Chains A and B, each alone.
Chain A
Amino acid sequence: MDGSAIDPTVLRPPIEDAAIERIAPAELRTRLQALREDGYMMLLDLGAVDYPQRVPRFDVVYHLLKMPVAAATPDQIGTPQRYRLLCGVPIENLSLPTITDLWRNADWAEREVFDLFGITFEGHPDLRRIQMPTHWEGHPLRKDYPLRGPAKERSPRPPFANKSNLVAGTPPSGRTAEALQQQVALRQAQDRKEEPKA
Protein backbone atom coordinates (compact mmCIF):
# COMPACT_ATOMS: atom_id res chain seq x y z
CA MET A 1 0.00 0.00 0.00
CA ASP A 2 1.37 3.39 -0.78
CA GLY A 3 2.28 5.41 2.23
CA SER A 4 3.12 2.45 4.44
CA ALA A 5 6.02 3.30 6.66
CA ILE A 6 7.98 0.26 7.70
CA ASP A 7 9.19 1.74 10.98
CA PRO A 8 6.83 4.48 12.20
CA THR A 9 8.79 4.94 15.42
CA VAL A 10 11.60 6.82 13.71
CA LEU A 11 9.17 9.53 12.65
CA ARG A 12 8.02 11.94 15.33
CA PRO A 13 4.74 13.85 15.22
CA PRO A 14 5.19 17.57 16.00
CA ILE A 15 3.51 17.47 19.43
CA GLU A 16 5.36 15.26 21.82
CA ASP A 17 5.56 15.54 25.57
CA ALA A 18 7.71 12.55 26.43
CA ALA A 19 11.43 11.90 26.26
CA ILE A 20 11.84 9.06 23.79
CA GLU A 21 14.76 6.70 23.59
CA ARG A 22 15.45 3.52 21.69
CA ILE A 23 17.64 0.92 23.30
CA ALA A 24 18.99 -2.56 22.66
CA PRO A 25 17.93 -5.48 24.87
CA ALA A 26 21.42 -5.85 26.31
CA GLU A 27 21.41 -2.41 27.95
CA LEU A 28 17.76 -2.46 28.93
CA ARG A 29 18.05 -3.32 32.61
CA THR A 30 20.95 -0.98 33.37
CA ARG A 31 19.15 1.89 31.66
CA LEU A 32 15.89 1.22 33.47
CA GLN A 33 17.69 0.97 36.79
CA ALA A 34 19.38 4.30 36.12
CA LEU A 35 16.03 5.86 35.22
CA ARG A 36 14.47 4.54 38.38
CA GLU A 37 17.24 6.02 40.50
CA ASP A 38 16.69 9.27 38.63
CA GLY A 39 13.15 9.47 40.00
CA TYR A 40 11.01 7.62 37.45
CA MET A 41 9.23 5.75 40.19
CA MET A 42 6.10 4.78 38.27
CA LEU A 43 5.96 2.33 35.40
CA LEU A 44 2.88 3.44 33.52
CA ASP A 45 2.72 0.73 30.92
CA LEU A 46 4.60 -2.05 29.18
CA GLY A 47 3.38 -3.05 25.75
CA ALA A 48 4.60 -4.64 22.55
CA VAL A 49 4.16 -3.89 18.85
CA ASP A 50 4.75 -6.27 15.95
CA TYR A 51 6.44 -4.82 12.86
CA PRO A 52 6.55 -7.83 10.54
CA GLN A 53 8.56 -6.14 7.79
CA ARG A 54 11.17 -4.66 10.04
CA VAL A 55 14.27 -6.09 11.67
CA PRO A 56 14.10 -6.41 14.71
CA ARG A 57 10.54 -7.56 14.45
CA PHE A 58 9.04 -6.69 17.81
CA ASP A 59 9.16 -3.51 19.86
CA VAL A 60 8.55 -3.58 23.59
CA VAL A 61 7.59 -0.11 24.75
CA TYR A 62 8.05 1.04 28.35
CA HIS A 63 6.24 4.16 29.55
CA LEU A 64 7.66 5.70 32.72
CA LEU A 65 6.53 8.65 34.79
CA LYS A 66 8.53 10.73 37.22
CA MET A 67 6.41 10.61 40.34
CA PRO A 68 7.09 11.49 43.98
CA VAL A 69 6.54 8.73 46.50
CA ALA A 70 5.25 10.89 49.32
CA ALA A 71 2.10 12.93 49.63
CA ALA A 72 2.12 15.81 47.16
CA THR A 73 -0.29 18.51 46.03
CA PRO A 74 -1.09 19.15 42.36
CA ASP A 75 1.27 22.14 42.31
CA GLN A 76 4.10 20.08 43.71
CA ILE A 77 3.54 17.46 41.04
CA GLY A 78 3.20 20.00 38.25
CA THR A 79 3.72 18.37 34.86
CA PRO A 80 5.68 15.18 35.54
CA GLN A 81 8.18 14.11 32.93
CA ARG A 82 7.18 11.15 30.81
CA TYR A 83 9.73 8.76 29.37
CA ARG A 84 9.21 6.29 26.57
CA LEU A 85 11.75 3.55 26.07
CA LEU A 86 11.52 1.40 22.96
CA CYS A 87 13.40 -1.87 22.85
CA GLY A 88 13.66 -3.85 19.64
CA VAL A 89 13.37 -7.60 20.10
CA PRO A 90 14.49 -9.78 17.17
CA ILE A 91 12.58 -12.90 16.28
CA GLU A 92 15.68 -15.08 16.72
CA ASN A 93 15.95 -14.18 20.39
CA LEU A 94 12.45 -13.52 21.70
CA SER A 95 13.50 -12.80 25.22
CA LEU A 96 14.02 -9.82 27.49
CA PRO A 97 15.05 -9.50 31.12
CA THR A 98 12.18 -8.96 33.50
CA ILE A 99 11.74 -5.76 35.48
CA THR A 100 9.33 -7.05 38.11
CA ASP A 101 11.94 -6.48 40.81
CA LEU A 102 12.19 -2.81 39.88
CA TRP A 103 8.49 -2.10 39.37
CA ARG A 104 6.04 -4.59 40.77
CA ASN A 105 3.28 -3.76 38.34
CA ALA A 106 5.29 -5.11 35.42
CA ASP A 107 4.12 -8.56 36.47
CA TRP A 108 0.84 -8.81 34.58
CA ALA A 109 1.97 -6.55 31.76
CA GLU A 110 4.86 -8.90 30.98
CA ARG A 111 2.55 -11.90 31.20
CA GLU A 112 0.26 -10.25 28.69
CA VAL A 113 3.11 -9.52 26.28
CA PHE A 114 4.14 -13.17 26.59
CA ASP A 115 0.60 -14.36 26.01
CA LEU A 116 -0.22 -12.19 23.03
CA PHE A 117 3.20 -11.88 21.35
CA GLY A 118 5.34 -14.72 22.58
CA ILE A 119 8.17 -12.70 24.08
CA THR A 120 9.52 -14.39 27.22
CA PHE A 121 10.87 -12.47 30.18
CA GLU A 122 13.76 -14.09 32.00
CA GLY A 123 13.43 -14.06 35.73
CA HIS A 124 9.69 -13.51 35.78
CA PRO A 125 8.22 -15.24 38.86
CA ASP A 126 5.15 -16.66 37.13
CA LEU A 127 5.23 -16.44 33.34
CA ARG A 128 2.06 -18.01 31.98
CA ARG A 129 -0.82 -17.01 29.80
CA ILE A 130 -3.10 -14.38 31.22
CA GLN A 131 -5.78 -13.49 28.68
CA MET A 132 -6.11 -16.66 26.61
CA PRO A 133 -6.96 -20.09 28.07
CA THR A 134 -3.98 -22.02 29.39
CA HIS A 135 -3.59 -24.43 26.50
CA TRP A 136 -4.18 -21.97 23.68
CA GLU A 137 -1.77 -22.32 20.81
CA GLY A 138 -0.34 -19.33 19.08
CA HIS A 139 0.14 -15.72 20.02
CA PRO A 140 -2.93 -13.78 18.89
CA LEU A 141 -1.67 -10.24 18.51
CA ARG A 142 1.08 -11.13 16.08
CA LYS A 143 0.38 -9.85 12.61
CA ASP A 144 0.54 -13.33 11.07
CA TYR A 145 -2.11 -14.70 13.42
CA PRO A 146 -5.49 -14.68 11.66
CA LEU A 147 -8.10 -12.32 13.04
CA ARG A 148 -10.71 -15.00 13.42
CA GLY A 149 -8.38 -17.46 15.02
CA PRO A 150 -7.12 -20.79 13.75
CA ALA A 151 -9.24 -22.27 10.99
CA LYS A 152 -11.48 -24.88 12.48
CA GLU A 153 -14.46 -26.56 11.00
CA ARG A 154 -17.71 -25.04 12.11
CA SER A 155 -19.34 -27.49 14.45
CA PRO A 156 -22.89 -28.36 13.45
CA ARG A 157 -25.58 -26.81 15.57
CA PRO A 158 -26.10 -28.97 18.66
CA PRO A 159 -29.38 -30.89 18.46
CA PHE A 160 -31.02 -28.98 21.28
CA ALA A 161 -30.71 -25.75 19.29
CA ASN A 162 -33.34 -26.92 16.82
CA LYS A 163 -36.83 -25.87 17.75
CA SER A 164 -38.29 -29.31 18.06
CA ASN A 165 -41.80 -28.46 19.14
CA LEU A 166 -42.76 -26.96 15.80
CA VAL A 167 -43.82 -28.71 12.61
CA ALA A 168 -40.84 -29.36 10.36
CA GLY A 169 -40.73 -26.79 7.57
CA THR A 170 -42.55 -24.10 9.51
CA PRO A 171 -40.34 -21.13 10.12
CA PRO A 172 -39.85 -20.43 13.84
CA SER A 173 -41.58 -17.08 13.62
CA GLY A 174 -44.74 -18.70 12.21
CA ARG A 175 -44.78 -16.29 9.30
CA THR A 176 -45.60 -18.32 6.22
CA ALA A 177 -47.01 -17.14 2.94
CA GLU A 178 -50.50 -18.42 3.81
CA ALA A 179 -50.46 -16.57 7.12
CA LEU A 180 -49.56 -13.36 5.31
CA GLN A 181 -52.35 -13.78 2.80
CA GLN A 182 -54.82 -14.42 5.58
CA GLN A 183 -53.68 -11.23 7.28
CA VAL A 184 -54.06 -9.22 4.07
CA ALA A 185 -57.56 -10.60 3.48
CA LEU A 186 -58.56 -9.77 7.03
CA ARG A 187 -57.32 -6.19 6.71
CA GLN A 188 -59.10 -5.73 3.38
CA ALA A 189 -62.33 -6.98 4.90
CA GLN A 190 -61.94 -4.50 7.74
CA ASP A 191 -61.30 -1.65 5.30
CA ARG A 192 -64.38 -2.51 3.26
CA LYS A 193 -66.52 -2.58 6.38
CA GLU A 194 -65.25 0.85 7.43
CA GLU A 195 -65.53 2.52 4.01
CA PRO A 196 -69.16 3.71 4.24
CA LYS A 197 -68.32 5.63 7.41
CA ALA A 198 -65.21 7.37 5.96
Chain B
Amino acid sequence: MPLEPQGSQVLAQDGNAMVLSMGPQHPSTHGVLQIMLEIEGESVVKAEPEIGYLHTGIEKSAENLFWTQAQTVIERMDYLAPESNSLCYALAVEKLLGITDRIPERAQQIRVIVAELTRIASHCVWLGTHGIDLGALSIFFYCFDLRENILDVQEAAGGARMHPNYVRIGGLQADLPDGHVERLDALLKKFPTRMRELRAILQKNPIWQDRTIDVGTVTPEQAVAWGLTGPALRASGIAYDVRKAFPYSGYENYKFDVPTRTEGDAYARFVVRLDEMEQSMRIVQQARDAMKAGPIMIDDAKIAPPPKEAIALSMEALIHHFKVVSEGIRVPPGDVYQAIESPRGELGYYVVSDGNNKPFRVRTRPPSLYNLQALKGIAPGNLIADLVVMIGSLDPVFGEVDR
Protein backbone atom coordinates (compact mmCIF):
# COMPACT_ATOMS: atom_id res chain seq x y z
CA MET B 1 0.00 0.00 0.00
CA PRO B 2 1.72 3.24 -1.07
CA LEU B 3 2.15 5.88 1.57
CA GLU B 4 0.34 8.49 -0.43
CA PRO B 5 -2.32 7.47 -2.89
CA GLN B 6 -1.11 8.09 -6.39
CA GLY B 7 -4.04 8.57 -8.67
CA SER B 8 -7.73 8.03 -8.09
CA GLN B 9 -8.21 4.83 -6.21
CA VAL B 10 -10.46 3.22 -3.66
CA LEU B 11 -8.74 3.14 -0.29
CA ALA B 12 -11.24 1.55 2.03
CA GLN B 13 -14.72 0.22 1.96
CA ASP B 14 -16.75 0.08 5.12
CA GLY B 15 -20.41 -0.77 4.89
CA ASN B 16 -21.95 1.76 2.58
CA ALA B 17 -19.25 4.39 2.87
CA MET B 18 -16.25 4.30 0.57
CA VAL B 19 -13.09 6.35 0.79
CA LEU B 20 -12.04 7.44 -2.66
CA SER B 21 -8.97 9.43 -3.49
CA MET B 22 -9.88 11.84 -6.27
CA GLY B 23 -6.23 11.85 -7.11
CA PRO B 24 -3.90 14.66 -8.03
CA GLN B 25 -4.16 13.82 -11.70
CA HIS B 26 -7.75 14.63 -12.56
CA PRO B 27 -9.19 16.63 -15.40
CA SER B 28 -11.71 18.50 -13.27
CA THR B 29 -9.77 19.48 -10.21
CA HIS B 30 -8.23 22.55 -11.85
CA GLY B 31 -4.68 21.68 -11.15
CA VAL B 32 -2.95 19.26 -8.84
CA LEU B 33 -5.54 18.82 -6.13
CA GLN B 34 -6.18 15.57 -4.35
CA ILE B 35 -9.44 15.19 -2.48
CA MET B 36 -9.95 12.35 -0.05
CA LEU B 37 -13.65 11.70 -0.43
CA GLU B 38 -15.75 9.63 1.88
CA ILE B 39 -18.77 8.86 -0.22
CA GLU B 40 -21.95 6.84 0.05
CA GLY B 41 -23.02 6.09 -3.45
CA GLU B 42 -22.74 9.43 -5.18
CA SER B 43 -23.10 11.71 -2.20
CA VAL B 44 -20.17 13.07 -0.32
CA VAL B 45 -20.06 12.45 3.40
CA LYS B 46 -16.69 14.10 3.99
CA ALA B 47 -14.20 15.78 1.69
CA GLU B 48 -10.65 16.51 2.72
CA PRO B 49 -8.56 18.25 0.10
CA GLU B 50 -4.86 17.38 0.11
CA ILE B 51 -2.53 20.01 -1.26
CA GLY B 52 1.20 20.34 -1.65
CA TYR B 53 1.53 18.76 -5.07
CA LEU B 54 2.86 22.01 -6.49
CA HIS B 55 4.93 23.20 -3.53
CA THR B 56 7.72 25.19 -5.09
CA GLY B 57 9.53 26.65 -2.10
CA ILE B 58 9.00 30.15 -3.48
CA GLU B 59 9.20 31.77 -0.07
CA LYS B 60 12.53 30.09 0.64
CA SER B 61 13.86 30.99 -2.80
CA ALA B 62 12.88 34.61 -2.25
CA GLU B 63 15.00 34.73 0.89
CA ASN B 64 18.09 33.93 -1.16
CA LEU B 65 17.62 36.43 -3.98
CA PHE B 66 17.89 40.20 -4.17
CA TRP B 67 14.72 42.22 -3.67
CA THR B 68 14.16 42.70 -7.40
CA GLN B 69 15.17 39.13 -8.24
CA ALA B 70 12.76 37.80 -5.63
CA GLN B 71 9.98 39.50 -7.56
CA THR B 72 10.51 37.06 -10.45
CA VAL B 73 9.87 33.99 -8.31
CA ILE B 74 7.04 35.65 -6.44
CA GLU B 75 5.30 36.51 -9.71
CA ARG B 76 5.04 32.79 -10.41
CA MET B 77 2.78 32.06 -7.49
CA ASP B 78 -0.60 32.89 -8.98
CA TYR B 79 0.26 32.09 -12.55
CA LEU B 80 -3.11 33.10 -13.99
CA ALA B 81 -2.89 36.67 -12.71
CA PRO B 82 0.86 37.21 -12.46
CA GLU B 83 0.87 40.98 -12.37
CA SER B 84 -1.20 40.93 -9.17
CA ASN B 85 1.58 39.18 -7.29
CA SER B 86 4.15 41.60 -8.69
CA LEU B 87 2.03 44.60 -7.82
CA CYS B 88 1.36 43.50 -4.24
CA TYR B 89 5.02 42.72 -3.59
CA ALA B 90 6.15 46.01 -5.12
CA LEU B 91 3.63 47.93 -3.00
CA ALA B 92 4.78 46.10 0.14
CA VAL B 93 8.45 46.87 -0.48
CA GLU B 94 7.60 50.46 -1.35
CA LYS B 95 5.81 50.72 1.99
CA LEU B 96 8.97 49.49 3.72
CA LEU B 97 11.09 51.93 1.74
CA GLY B 98 8.67 54.73 2.58
CA ILE B 99 8.27 55.84 -1.04
CA THR B 100 4.59 55.08 -1.55
CA ASP B 101 3.66 58.72 -2.17
CA ARG B 102 6.62 59.30 -4.48
CA ILE B 103 5.59 56.78 -7.11
CA PRO B 104 4.88 58.79 -10.29
CA GLU B 105 1.23 59.14 -11.21
CA ARG B 106 1.65 57.72 -14.68
CA ALA B 107 3.19 54.60 -13.19
CA GLN B 108 0.21 54.21 -10.86
CA GLN B 109 -2.25 54.60 -13.71
CA ILE B 110 -0.48 52.06 -15.87
CA ARG B 111 -0.29 49.70 -12.88
CA VAL B 112 -4.05 49.97 -12.50
CA ILE B 113 -4.59 49.22 -16.18
CA VAL B 114 -2.29 46.21 -16.02
CA ALA B 115 -3.91 44.93 -12.84
CA GLU B 116 -7.43 45.23 -14.18
CA LEU B 117 -6.56 43.60 -17.51
CA THR B 118 -5.01 40.78 -15.53
CA ARG B 119 -8.21 40.44 -13.56
CA ILE B 120 -10.24 40.10 -16.73
CA ALA B 121 -7.76 37.63 -18.21
CA SER B 122 -7.86 35.53 -15.04
CA HIS B 123 -11.66 35.52 -15.00
CA CYS B 124 -11.58 34.40 -18.63
CA VAL B 125 -9.58 31.33 -17.66
CA TRP B 126 -11.89 30.71 -14.72
CA LEU B 127 -15.01 30.91 -16.88
CA GLY B 128 -13.57 28.80 -19.68
CA THR B 129 -12.37 26.01 -17.41
CA HIS B 130 -15.48 26.14 -15.22
CA GLY B 131 -17.55 25.70 -18.35
CA ILE B 132 -15.45 22.80 -19.58
CA ASP B 133 -15.75 21.03 -16.22
CA LEU B 134 -19.49 21.14 -16.51
CA GLY B 135 -19.54 20.17 -20.16
CA ALA B 136 -20.08 23.59 -21.75
CA LEU B 137 -17.24 23.39 -24.22
CA SER B 138 -17.86 26.33 -26.53
CA ILE B 139 -17.45 29.04 -23.91
CA PHE B 140 -13.83 27.98 -23.52
CA PHE B 141 -13.02 29.30 -26.97
CA TYR B 142 -14.81 32.60 -26.49
CA CYS B 143 -13.02 33.16 -23.19
CA PHE B 144 -9.60 32.26 -24.45
CA ASP B 145 -10.03 34.43 -27.51
CA LEU B 146 -10.65 37.40 -25.23
CA ARG B 147 -7.71 36.33 -23.12
CA GLU B 148 -5.46 36.19 -26.17
CA ASN B 149 -6.38 39.76 -27.02
CA ILE B 150 -5.59 40.87 -23.49
CA LEU B 151 -2.32 38.95 -23.42
CA ASP B 152 -1.31 40.56 -26.71
CA VAL B 153 -1.82 43.97 -25.10
CA GLN B 154 0.13 42.89 -22.02
CA GLU B 155 2.90 41.48 -24.18
CA ALA B 156 3.22 44.75 -26.07
CA ALA B 157 3.63 46.63 -22.81
CA GLY B 158 5.60 44.20 -20.69
CA GLY B 159 7.47 42.02 -23.12
CA ALA B 160 5.96 38.65 -22.24
CA ARG B 161 2.46 37.21 -22.18
CA MET B 162 2.72 35.74 -18.72
CA HIS B 163 5.17 36.80 -16.02
CA PRO B 164 6.36 39.96 -17.77
CA ASN B 165 7.88 41.33 -14.57
CA TYR B 166 6.54 44.70 -15.69
CA VAL B 167 5.68 46.20 -12.31
CA ARG B 168 8.89 46.97 -10.46
CA ILE B 169 9.77 48.36 -7.07
CA GLY B 170 9.48 52.12 -7.55
CA GLY B 171 7.41 52.14 -10.71
CA LEU B 172 7.47 50.18 -13.91
CA GLN B 173 10.08 48.46 -15.99
CA ALA B 174 9.62 50.63 -19.08
CA ASP B 175 7.14 53.06 -20.53
CA LEU B 176 4.28 52.00 -22.78
CA PRO B 177 5.32 51.50 -26.40
CA ASP B 178 4.03 53.69 -29.23
CA GLY B 179 0.56 52.80 -30.35
CA HIS B 180 -0.33 51.17 -27.09
CA VAL B 181 -3.24 53.51 -26.47
CA GLU B 182 -4.65 52.49 -29.86
CA ARG B 183 -4.32 48.84 -28.88
CA LEU B 184 -6.14 49.52 -25.63
CA ASP B 185 -8.85 51.35 -27.51
CA ALA B 186 -9.34 48.42 -29.87
CA LEU B 187 -9.68 46.11 -26.89
CA LEU B 188 -12.12 48.44 -25.15
CA LYS B 189 -14.20 48.59 -28.32
CA LYS B 190 -14.30 44.83 -28.72
CA PHE B 191 -15.04 44.07 -25.10
CA PRO B 192 -18.76 44.90 -24.74
CA THR B 193 -19.72 42.60 -27.62
CA ARG B 194 -17.61 39.80 -26.25
CA MET B 195 -19.06 40.29 -22.77
CA ARG B 196 -22.57 40.09 -24.20
CA GLU B 197 -21.64 36.86 -25.92
CA LEU B 198 -20.22 35.35 -22.74
CA ARG B 199 -23.33 36.21 -20.83
CA ALA B 200 -25.60 34.97 -23.60
CA ILE B 201 -24.01 31.55 -23.65
CA LEU B 202 -24.39 30.65 -20.01
CA GLN B 203 -26.19 33.09 -17.80
CA LYS B 204 -29.74 32.17 -18.79
CA ASN B 205 -28.91 28.64 -19.86
CA PRO B 206 -31.32 26.30 -17.99
CA ILE B 207 -28.76 23.49 -17.75
CA TRP B 208 -26.16 25.83 -16.31
CA GLN B 209 -28.68 27.26 -13.86
CA ASP B 210 -29.78 23.78 -12.83
CA ARG B 211 -26.22 22.81 -12.09
CA THR B 212 -25.10 25.89 -10.27
CA ILE B 213 -28.09 27.38 -8.43
CA ASP B 214 -28.23 26.29 -4.78
CA VAL B 215 -24.99 24.37 -5.11
CA GLY B 216 -22.28 25.09 -2.60
CA THR B 217 -24.23 27.70 -0.70
CA VAL B 218 -22.13 29.67 1.76
CA THR B 219 -23.86 31.83 4.36
CA PRO B 220 -22.17 35.09 5.36
CA GLU B 221 -21.20 33.67 8.77
CA GLN B 222 -19.63 30.65 7.15
CA ALA B 223 -17.84 32.82 4.61
CA VAL B 224 -16.23 34.94 7.32
CA ALA B 225 -15.47 31.89 9.46
CA TRP B 226 -13.66 30.21 6.57
CA GLY B 227 -11.79 33.40 5.71
CA LEU B 228 -13.21 33.64 2.21
CA THR B 229 -12.38 36.81 0.35
CA GLY B 230 -12.96 38.08 -3.13
CA PRO B 231 -15.87 37.05 -5.32
CA ALA B 232 -16.75 34.14 -3.03
CA LEU B 233 -17.29 36.50 -0.11
CA ARG B 234 -19.09 39.10 -2.19
CA ALA B 235 -21.47 36.46 -3.55
CA SER B 236 -22.55 35.81 0.05
CA GLY B 237 -23.50 39.41 0.63
CA ILE B 238 -20.48 40.99 2.30
CA ALA B 239 -19.11 43.60 -0.08
CA TYR B 240 -15.48 43.61 1.09
CA ASP B 241 -13.19 44.71 -1.72
CA VAL B 242 -9.63 45.73 -0.84
CA ARG B 243 -9.70 48.31 -3.64
CA LYS B 244 -12.48 50.15 -1.80
CA ALA B 245 -11.54 49.36 1.78
CA PHE B 246 -7.78 49.98 1.62
CA PRO B 247 -7.25 51.82 -1.67
CA TYR B 248 -3.82 51.48 -3.27
CA SER B 249 -2.18 52.78 -6.42
CA GLY B 250 -4.78 55.48 -6.99
CA TYR B 251 -7.94 53.33 -6.92
CA GLU B 252 -9.74 56.00 -4.93
CA ASN B 253 -9.78 58.15 -8.07
CA TYR B 254 -11.81 55.73 -10.17
CA LYS B 255 -15.55 55.19 -10.06
CA PHE B 256 -16.55 51.55 -9.99
CA ASP B 257 -19.12 49.36 -8.31
CA VAL B 258 -18.51 46.29 -6.21
CA PRO B 259 -20.91 43.62 -7.51
CA THR B 260 -22.53 41.73 -4.67
CA ARG B 261 -25.10 38.98 -4.44
CA THR B 262 -26.81 37.50 -1.41
CA GLU B 263 -27.52 33.91 -2.40
CA GLY B 264 -24.00 32.61 -1.85
CA ASP B 265 -24.26 29.68 -4.26
CA ALA B 266 -22.13 28.82 -7.28
CA TYR B 267 -24.43 30.75 -9.59
CA ALA B 268 -24.04 33.87 -7.48
CA ARG B 269 -20.25 33.56 -7.63
CA PHE B 270 -20.52 33.13 -11.38
CA VAL B 271 -22.61 36.28 -11.83
CA VAL B 272 -20.40 38.28 -9.46
CA ARG B 273 -17.31 37.46 -11.49
CA LEU B 274 -19.01 38.34 -14.77
CA ASP B 275 -20.08 41.68 -13.32
CA GLU B 276 -16.56 42.21 -12.04
CA MET B 277 -15.15 41.84 -15.53
CA GLU B 278 -17.35 44.69 -16.70
CA GLN B 279 -16.37 46.87 -13.77
CA SER B 280 -12.70 46.18 -14.49
CA MET B 281 -13.09 47.37 -18.06
CA ARG B 282 -14.79 50.48 -16.73
CA ILE B 283 -11.72 51.17 -14.60
CA VAL B 284 -9.41 50.57 -17.57
CA GLN B 285 -11.40 53.10 -19.58
CA GLN B 286 -11.13 55.69 -16.84
CA ALA B 287 -7.41 55.10 -16.33
CA ARG B 288 -6.81 55.34 -20.05
CA ASP B 289 -8.68 58.62 -20.27
CA ALA B 290 -6.92 60.11 -17.27
CA MET B 291 -3.45 59.01 -18.33
CA LYS B 292 -0.84 61.66 -17.64
CA ALA B 293 2.52 62.06 -19.25
CA GLY B 294 5.55 61.80 -17.05
CA PRO B 295 8.15 59.48 -15.62
CA ILE B 296 7.34 55.86 -14.89
CA MET B 297 9.97 55.17 -12.29
CA ILE B 298 10.89 56.92 -9.09
CA ASP B 299 13.83 59.27 -9.41
CA ASP B 300 15.96 57.72 -6.70
CA ALA B 301 19.15 56.06 -7.83
CA LYS B 302 19.42 53.98 -4.67
CA ILE B 303 16.17 52.18 -5.51
CA ALA B 304 15.78 52.23 -9.26
CA PRO B 305 18.62 51.88 -11.73
CA PRO B 306 19.01 55.03 -13.85
CA PRO B 307 17.80 54.86 -17.45
CA LYS B 308 20.24 53.29 -19.85
CA GLU B 309 20.57 56.50 -21.85
CA ALA B 310 22.12 58.27 -18.86
CA ILE B 311 24.82 55.67 -18.36
CA ALA B 312 26.88 56.78 -21.33
CA LEU B 313 26.87 60.39 -20.13
CA SER B 314 27.14 60.34 -16.36
CA MET B 315 29.64 58.57 -14.14
CA GLU B 316 27.29 58.57 -11.15
CA ALA B 317 24.56 56.96 -13.23
CA LEU B 318 26.95 54.20 -14.26
CA ILE B 319 28.05 53.59 -10.69
CA HIS B 320 24.49 53.53 -9.39
CA HIS B 321 23.41 51.18 -12.13
CA PHE B 322 26.30 48.85 -11.34
CA LYS B 323 25.56 48.89 -7.63
CA VAL B 324 21.84 48.32 -8.02
CA VAL B 325 22.34 45.42 -10.40
CA SER B 326 25.24 43.67 -8.72
CA GLU B 327 24.50 44.31 -5.07
CA GLY B 328 20.78 44.87 -5.09
CA ILE B 329 18.88 47.62 -3.31
CA ARG B 330 18.87 47.95 0.44
CA VAL B 331 15.53 48.15 2.23
CA PRO B 332 15.38 49.56 5.77
CA PRO B 333 14.50 47.01 8.47
CA GLY B 334 10.90 46.53 9.49
CA ASP B 335 7.87 44.41 8.74
CA VAL B 336 4.76 45.33 6.82
CA TYR B 337 1.56 43.71 5.57
CA GLN B 338 0.24 44.85 2.21
CA ALA B 339 -2.92 43.51 0.60
CA ILE B 340 -4.47 43.95 -2.82
CA GLU B 341 -7.59 42.63 -4.44
CA SER B 342 -6.41 39.84 -6.71
CA PRO B 343 -8.94 38.05 -8.92
CA ARG B 344 -9.22 35.39 -6.24
CA GLY B 345 -9.56 37.53 -3.16
CA GLU B 346 -7.34 39.39 -0.76
CA LEU B 347 -3.75 38.67 -1.67
CA GLY B 348 -1.47 39.82 1.07
CA TYR B 349 2.26 39.84 1.65
CA TYR B 350 3.80 40.08 5.09
CA VAL B 351 7.31 41.22 4.20
CA VAL B 352 10.07 41.35 6.82
CA SER B 353 13.31 43.11 6.07
CA ASP B 354 16.40 43.11 8.27
CA GLY B 355 18.10 45.93 6.39
CA ASN B 356 19.92 43.80 3.86
CA ASN B 357 19.70 43.48 0.12
CA LYS B 358 17.65 40.28 0.34
CA PRO B 359 14.17 39.83 1.78
CA PHE B 360 14.29 38.26 5.22
CA ARG B 361 10.85 36.68 4.92
CA VAL B 362 8.02 37.01 2.43
CA ARG B 363 4.96 35.36 3.89
CA THR B 364 2.05 35.18 1.43
CA ARG B 365 -1.57 35.34 2.45
CA PRO B 366 -2.85 33.19 -0.43
CA PRO B 367 -6.54 33.78 -1.14
CA SER B 368 -6.87 30.46 -2.95
CA LEU B 369 -5.71 28.51 0.11
CA TYR B 370 -8.48 29.86 2.29
CA ASN B 371 -11.05 29.69 -0.50
CA LEU B 372 -10.18 26.05 -1.09
CA GLN B 373 -10.26 25.19 2.58
CA ALA B 374 -13.92 26.13 2.61
CA LEU B 375 -14.52 23.06 0.47
CA LYS B 376 -14.25 20.98 3.63
CA GLY B 377 -17.25 22.82 5.02
CA ILE B 378 -19.51 23.10 2.00
CA ALA B 379 -18.94 19.76 0.24
CA PRO B 380 -20.61 17.31 2.64
CA GLY B 381 -24.14 16.43 1.62
CA ASN B 382 -23.63 17.11 -2.06
CA LEU B 383 -23.03 14.86 -5.03
CA ILE B 384 -19.61 14.32 -6.52
CA ALA B 385 -20.70 16.21 -9.60
CA ASP B 386 -21.54 19.16 -7.38
CA LEU B 387 -18.05 18.96 -5.95
CA VAL B 388 -16.70 19.79 -9.38
CA VAL B 389 -19.03 22.79 -9.56
CA MET B 390 -17.88 23.98 -6.15
CA ILE B 391 -14.19 23.72 -6.92
CA GLY B 392 -14.72 25.62 -10.13
CA SER B 393 -16.75 28.34 -8.49
CA LEU B 394 -14.15 28.85 -5.74
CA ASP B 395 -11.47 29.27 -8.43
CA PRO B 396 -8.28 27.98 -6.79
CA VAL B 397 -4.89 28.34 -8.42
CA PHE B 398 -2.44 25.81 -7.12
CA GLY B 399 0.65 27.86 -7.65
CA GLU B 400 -0.77 30.10 -4.95
CA VAL B 401 -2.19 27.41 -2.69
CA ASP B 402 1.05 25.46 -2.52
CA ARG B 403 3.66 28.11 -3.27
Contact = CB atoms under 8 A, between A and B. Distances in A.
Interface stretch (B15-23, B285-293, B330-338, B389-397): B330-338
Given A3-B330, A3-B355, A45 B348 contact: yes
Contact of A108 (B61, B258, B373): B373
Contacts of A5: 333, 354-355
Interface string A12-55: 11111110000000000000000000000111110111100000
B238 interface: yes
Interface string B230-251: 0000001111110011100000
Contact of B245 (A3, A44, A71, A80): A80
A61 B3 CA distance: 33
A interface residue count range (under 10 / 10 to 19 / 20 to 34 / 35 or more): 35 or more
A4 B333 CA distance: 8
A77 B239 contact: yes
Given A3-B330, A84-B337, A105-B370, A74 B241 contact: yes
Interface residues of B, number: 61
Contact of B98 (A15, A71, A74): A15
A67 B355 contact: no
Given A14-B98, A44-B365, A141 B258 contact: no
Contacts of B246: 17, 79
Contacts of B376: 107
A13 B334 contact: yes
Nearest to A42: B224
Nearest to B64: A147
A61 B224 contact: no
B3 A134 contact: yes
A18 B57 CA distance: 28
Interface stretch (A89-97, A125-133, A174-182): A125-133
A15 B101 CA distance: 10
Contact of B244 (A70, A74, A84, A140): A74
Interface of A: 1, 3-6, 8-9, 11-18, 41-45, 47-50, 61, 63, 67-74, 76-80, 82, 84, 103-105, 107-109, 129-135, 140-141, 143, 145, 147
Given A42-B227, A63-B337, 12 more contacts: A1-B356, A12-B334, A13-B332, A45-B350, A49-B335, A61-B363, A69-B224, A74-B240, A103-B227, A105-B370, A130-B52, A131-B403
